[in-house]
Structure 1
Amino acid sequence: MKTALLQITSSDDPAENLIMVKRMMAEAASEGAQFILTPEVTNCVSNSTTRQREVLQHEEDDQTLAGLQDQAAALGVWLLIGSLAIKTHDADGRFANRSYMIDPQGQIVARYDKIHMFDVQVTETETFRESKNYRPGEKAVVADTDFGKVGMTVCYDIRFPYLHTALAKAGARVLTVPAAFSPVTGAAHWESLLRARAIETGCWVIAPAQTGEHPKTRGKTRYTYGHSMVVAPWGEVVIDAGTDPGIHFFDLDDSSVTEARRRVPSLTHVRSFQGP
């Protein structure tokens, strides 16, 4: 199955980002892609809570979601919207960081809210507190598609092997890791983490990423690492997209999963054990 990753530099203007992503989807489909993936927070990259409250919407009103559903249907493709920043009806007003699997009829077949929040201090001057504005999800999700089961994760989730093992044990043969990774942690850990998750599970790991300096109308400038990546089930890096925005293609071959798991059937060796 010809698959396309979109590496993009989203601004804090969802309408502008929607135009960009729809254009890239059309180009990818014209090259034969049947499955297209976008990065984390496709609709809005912003460090300003004020700006987010101005432009983000609830799921039922979200123009990015509706527009990308329509585009998937028009092109007849599967689409992973890596994630959208979505308003919720929670009393504390926090948003959801929500990934969507869309079928070729434009219907939502699965939703996943990012479970692990990026609350870290990566340098003396760079601190993230994702849980301040986003509430964590509570449920792991495997999407059923006509090309197999897909385990859905988002960005910081990559650091938690038990989640990916659980998805693979539940039948996932592909793991999606849309991201907006920090340049500091990206340079240190991104490739190693993605390869480890692929090797541990015998899954394809597909990680479309935000990249570069993100245009903004207010708040601190955000920078992301790029290097959208595809790792095959045996651990080989099939794509490293570097740092420029663009579309990257590969063939998603399910037989690679079968072969990797035949050679090292580690999922069948998972055992429960008592803690230390």
Structure 2
Amino acid sequence: MIHALQFCATSNAKHNFERVAEFINTLPAHRPCLVSLPESWLCFAKSSEQVLEVARQHQYWRQQLSLLCQKEQVWLAAGTIPVMSDTGRYYAASILFDAQGRECAQYNKIHLFDVTVSDNTGNYHESKHTQPGEHIVVADVLGTKVGLSVCYDMRFSELYRAQVELGANVLLVPSAFTVPTGRAHWHTLLRARAIESQAFVVAAGLYGRNDTDIAHDNGRQTYGHSLIISPWGEIISECHSGEGWISATVDMNELNQCRERMPMHAHRQARKVKL
């Protein structure tokens, strides 16, 4: 079973952690399960300088996440937390914990969001304080291979093709999508990644709107619409707005039948992909 949380993060890391812990405590007692959090859930600040301060405390937050997994007996794909690099910048790190609190994998976001968007922020310059990752990561989770990625990565299909070549059956895409890009591309991109990869896609997203009582304190707005998508590209579960859980059981028989009936990976001519 996979559970993905849609969440309205603030700039206060302690407050965010406590609220996420409360959400996890509400999950059904059935174990084992994998819990997926959104991008930037720990600190969604107004400036990257504020996030940098949280990154300097990353060892503390990793310890707290480890203890939470032990307490709740869940596997946790912890969206992203900022982790200091040796360059003075931080990684947008997606860390995977098992139910004993052990760190099983860390993926550092490769593709950074340096773009102009027609929203109240306008210009995004993620690379100012974020160090790009360099490695593709696929991890074993409860007998299934899971590919780790983050938000803007979803626009680069070659990353997911490489993950599938490494055996990935489930693709995690924690996100903090803007509203304009979300309306235009969110569903299309994620369904495309599922269809071309013939894999389950799980995209836990931040949600916050300035005209509601569920708003980020940094003034930004995020799209929400957290999704779980089948290997055939069908939306299994969606959280359109607000906060809450979406859940699904990963049916490997469904995935295997999809790949057997349409053996795209055997048919592919260009099999070597270099990022």
Check 1:187–1:53 CA distance in 2 against 1; reply closer, same or farther (3 A cut): same
User: Match for 1:117 among 95, 102, 112?
Assistant: 112
State yes or no: 1:76 paired with 2:70. no
Q: 1:265 aligns with which of 263, 266, 271?
A: 263
CA drift of 1:86 comes to 2.1
Instruction: For residues 210-238 of structure 1, give each alpha carbon's deviation from its aligned partner in whole angstroms, at most 9, with x where no partner exists.
Output: 0014543xxx5111100000110011011
The residue aligned with 2:189 is 193
CA contact (8 A) 1:46 1:222 kept: no
C-alpha separation between the residues in 1 aligned to 2:98 and 2:30?
19
Which of 80, 100, 113 in structure 2 is aligned with 1:105? 100
Query: Take 1:34 and 1:151, find their aligned partners in 2: how far apart are those partners?
Result: 16
User: What residue in structure 2 maps to residue 206 of structure 1?
Assistant: 202
2:221 aligned with 1:223:
yes
2:85 maps to amino acid:
T
Question: Shift of residue 204 of structure 1?
Answer: 0.3
Output the TM-score relative to the length of structure 1.
0.91
Kindly tell me: are residues 153 and 254 of structure 1, through their superposed partners in 2, closer, same or farther at Cα, counting changes over 3 Å? same
Q: How many residues align?
A: 266
Other structure's SS at 2:3 match: strand
Q: Which amino acid is 1:83 matched to?
A: T
TM-score by length of 2: 0.91
Residues 36, 79 of structure 2: 8 Å contact kept: yes
- Matched position secondary structure for 1:120: coil
- Note if contact 2:52-2:90 (Cα within 8 Å) is conserved in structure 1: no
Pair 1:101–1:273, CA change in 2 (3 A): closer
Q: Percent identity?
A: 34
Q: Quick one: which amino acid aligns to residue 45 of structure 1?
A: F
Q: Give runs of ≥4 in structure 1 deviating > 6 Å.
A: none
Instruction: Give unmatched runs, 5+ long, in structure 1.
Output: none
Long gaps (5+) in structure 2: 210-214
3-state SS, counterpart of residue 240 of structure 2? coil
Query: Secondary structure in 2 aligned to 1:53?
Result: helix
Offset at residue 78 of structure 1 (A): 1.1
